[in-house]
Amino acid sequence: MTPEPEPKAITARALGLIGCEVCGHLNRAPETTFVRCRRCQAPLHARKPDSLARTSAYLISAAILYIPANLYPVLETHTLGHDERDTVMQGVLALWASGSWLLAALVFFASMVVPMMKLLALALLVITVKRRSDWRLLERARLFRLIEFIGRWSMLDIYVVSILVALVHLRGLASMEAGEGAVAFASVVVLTMLSARSFDPRLMWDVLEQERSR
C-alpha cells in the first residue's frame, strides 16, 4: 500500500492570524506595521523583530565575556595578614579538596558546564535557522525549551559569593569582595538569558512552510 501523503499543516500565520505572546488571544494579522492585542493591549508581531540579529549580538558578547569570567577571580578574601583571590575553578578545586564533593560538582556544573552548553546550543539554533535547515526540528525545539529552563541555575555561584560576602562581613574578622570574574560571569548569565529571550523558535518551523509552498 502506498503511504498517504502528509497533510499540509495550516498555521495561524497562513490564516492571517497572530497569537498574543502575553495572553494567547488570536488576533487578525495587522494591516499596519504596529498593532496591539485586542484583549490585553500587548504589542503584536508575527515574529520577534530582528530576532536573529539580537540573539547573535547577545550571544557573541556572552562568548567574549566567558573568557574573563573564568580567568579572573570571582572572590577576594582578606584576613589577618593573608589575601586570597580565587577563580571559579580554584573554588571548585578547594571544595573538592575539603571533601565537599557534591557541592564542588554542583558549582562546576552550574558555573562552567551550563554556560558553555548554553552558548553552544544557542549558536547551533542560530546557525541552523540562518541556513534554513530542517534538521531535527523537534529535537531543536526541545533544546530551546531546555535552555530556557536551566537558564536561572547559571547564577548559582553568584548567589554563593553573595551569601559568603554577607556572612563574613557580619563576623567582622575578615572581609570578602566579589572579584572582576563575578561581574563578568554575571554578565555572561544575563546576556545568555537575553539571547534566549530574543530567539524566536517559530523561525525554525518556517522552513517547512517554504518547502511546501514550492
**What are the grid coordinates assigned to 36, written together?**
496591539
Mean pLDDT split into 10-residue runs, the chain, 214 residues: 54 81 84 79 87 96 94 80 79 81 81 88 96 93 90 63 55 69 87 93 86 65
3-class SS of residue 155 = helix
At residue 64, the pLDDT reads 97
Please name the residue ranges forming H helices in the chain: 51-71, 88-97, 101-108, 114-130, 137-150, 156-171, 180-198, 202-212
**Domains observed in the chain:** 1-46 (no CATH), 48-212 (1.20.140)
Residue identified by cell 535552555 is 147
pTM of the model: 0.82
